[in-house]
A and B are shown apart, each in its own frame.
Chain A
Amino acid sequence: EVQLVESGGGLVMPGGSLRLSCAASGFALSNYYMNWVRQAPGKGLEWVSSISSSNSYIYYADSVKGRFTISRDNAKNSLYLQMNSLRVEDTAVYHCARALIVGTTLAYFDYWGQGALVTVSS
């Protein structure tokens, strides 16, 4: 059974940093694009970042580019998101999600973790 379990969320002051982790089980992380998708309280879904299976391709939403860094450790079956210079508007539940590809193109998300709540507030 595929499982994705996030950890590392919490309350942080504006300008602070936080590192999220996602532990994957039930499949080999090394075979998939992995992603972070966030959802602000009561709001819709927003794609944040993606990393290809071999780390060759990394993408970020403009809203987090230069502040967030996605990484993975295939040996540990884990995905990470280092979040720096956090802003109030980064407050959200951050979901780890596995993506499938169409041809060679990053496509859609077939498994999601329950998410980690990140609250940025003074």
Chain B
Amino acid sequence: DIQMTQSPSSLSASVGDRVTITCRASQGISYNLAWYQQKPGKVPKLLITATSTLQSGVPSRFSGSGFGTDFTLTISSLQSEDVATYYCQKYDSVPLTFGGGTKVEIK
């Protein structure tokens, strides 16, 4: 099975900083990657599909890129409301696998 590895597992940044989260697949998954945001005490929210397609209502400061095995989620200017854990998820085939998560905090 394909494994999904996220890095870093946590980060602390200042408001306004550019933040980049990496997700690596153990084998190629083409563009079949989604990103979720889970705020404390809440359910996951779908942010991005097909590597880079923002879901309706997601602020444009979020963006995704990559192909094959290496993917990134970027927050261009971190806001306080972005404090959350972010997960990537592959969907090229079953099993649907999530990355281990990246916890984003404000410095």
Q: Is the CB of A114 within 8 A of B87?
A: no
Q: Report the contact-size class of chain B (Cβ under 8 Å from the partner).
A: 20 to 34
Smallest CB separation, A51 vs chain B (Å): 12
With A110-B46, A114-B43 as known contacts, state yes or no: A105 contacts B93, CB within 8 Å: yes
* Contact flag A47-B100 (CB < 8 Å), given A106-B91, A107-B91: no
Query: How close is A59's CB to chain B, nearest CB, in angstroms?
Result: 5
Q: Is B22 an interface residue (CB 8 A)?
A: no
Is the Cβ of B100 less than 8 Å from the Cβ of A44? Answer: yes
Contact of B32 among A47, A50, A102, A114 (CB under 8 A): A102
Within 34-56 of B, Cβ neighbours of A (below 8 Å) are at 34, 36, 38, 43-44, 46, 49-50, 55
**DSSP class of A's interface residues: helix, strand, loop or mixed?**
strand
With both chains docked as a complex, state the minimum distance between the C-beta of B29 and any C-beta of chain A, in angstroms.
12
Q: Which of B36, B46, B95 contacts A59 (CB 8 A)?
A: B95
Interface centre among B46, B49, B91, B99 (most CB of A within 10 A): B91
Q: For chain A, give the interface size range.
A: 20 to 34
With A50-B96, A106-B96 known to touch, is A44 a contact of B101 (CB < 8 Å)?
yes
In angstroms, Cα B91 to Cα A44, docked, is 17
Q: Please, how many angstroms separate the alpha-carbon atoms of A95 and B44 in the complex?
A: 10
Whether B98 sits at the interface, judged by CB under 8 Å, is: yes
Mark each residue of chain B from 66 to 100: 1 if its CB lies under 8 Å from any CB of chain A, else 0: 00000000000000000001010101111111111
Q: Does A32 contact B (CB under 8 A)?
A: no
A112-B87 in contact (CB<8A) = no
Known contacts A46-B98, A102-B91; A107 and B32 CB within 8 A of each other: yes
Complex Cα spacing A105 to B49, Å: 14
B residues bordering A, Cβ < 8 Å? Answer: 1, 32, 34, 36, 38, 43-44, 46, 49-50, 55, 85, 87, 89, 91-101
Q: List 16 A-B contacts (CB under 8 A).
A: A44-B98, A45-B38, A45-B87, A45-B89, A45-B101, A46-B98, A50-B96, A105-B91, A106-B91, A107-B49, A107-B91, A108-B46, A110-B55, A112-B44, A113-B43, A115-B43
